[in-house]
Amino acid sequence: MSQVVTAIGMTRTEVRGGTRTAMDDRATRLRRKRQGTIFDDNGIGQVEVEFLGKRRVIGCIEGEEDRAIRLAHQFEIDTGEVLKAVRDLDEPRAMLMAGILAREQIEELEDDVRAATPVSTQIELDHNSSVYRSAVAAVDQLIIVVEASNLYRQSEPEDQERRLAELKAGRTLLTSKWLSLDTVKVVLVSTLTYLLSKFADAPIGEAASLAWKAVKTLLGIQ
């Protein structure tokens, strides 16, 4: 809880109490009575809303009138609940407190999202190492073998084109100094294992096996 909120002895639970029926009815009436909105060539205009008993005109993007009214209505509810919870508080300070509470909720949600999102492992590639050179050479050779396969081209041209595009994208990733392990797994590793399985006893499968072993060593994949 922010220091400003704590200073007036108010909690979110106290602020969120109370009935909203009358305000909900008023928001519905405002949506039905929306009239006289004028927009310029860029789709920017104004819409009239009722806020704390007063009619106010706010800026609005064309097509977003209902959303603007709904958000203004929600902020009116939040401000009204602050006024109920704290005595002798004027409207500007109540609006400020409502904004602080709303922002606090947004930051908490952002923190939850960040905490739930796994952090991708970053790998630093040493372009001068023998391990790196071996992996790059193996991928380059696999690209040549896949491109040269007339049988693959005749039987499954779309699949061949797709796998070549993925291999070349993965090869481009290997030119970076830093590499996201998650990204290279999606772009390159999945294609290597696919080709290894699909062409197990064919030249493509053999080249894919060599590339897979080299890339695993480079990335430290078990």
SS (H, E, C) 82-99: HHHHCCCCCHHHHHHHHH
pLDDT at position 33 = 42
What total number of domains does the chain contain? 2
Tens-digit pLDDT profile for residues 115-137: 765 556 788 899 999 999 999 99
CA distance 206 to 73: 66
pLDDT at position 6 = 39
pLDDT tier for residue 43 given thresholds of 50, 70 and 90: low
> Residues 104, 128: one domain?
no
**Percent of the chain topping pLDDT 70:** 77
> Residues 156, 184: one domain?
yes
Domain end call among 49, 81, 116: 116
What average pLDDT does the segment 179-201 reach?
88
> Residues 164, 67: one domain?
no
> Residues 81, 23: one domain?
yes
What average pLDDT does the segment 52-72 reach?
84
> Residues 97, 14: one domain?
yes
Query: CA separation (Å) from 62 to 44, 47, 66, 67?
Result: 6, 10, 10, 11
Lowest mean pLDDT among 11-15, 38-42, 53-57: 11-15
Count of alpha carbons within 13 angstroms of residue 199, beta-carbon side: 22
Domain end call among 83, 116, 149: 116
pLDDT at position 37 = 57
Output 163 or 18, whichever has higher pLDDT: 163
Q: Which residue type, as a one-letter code, is found at position 159?
A: D
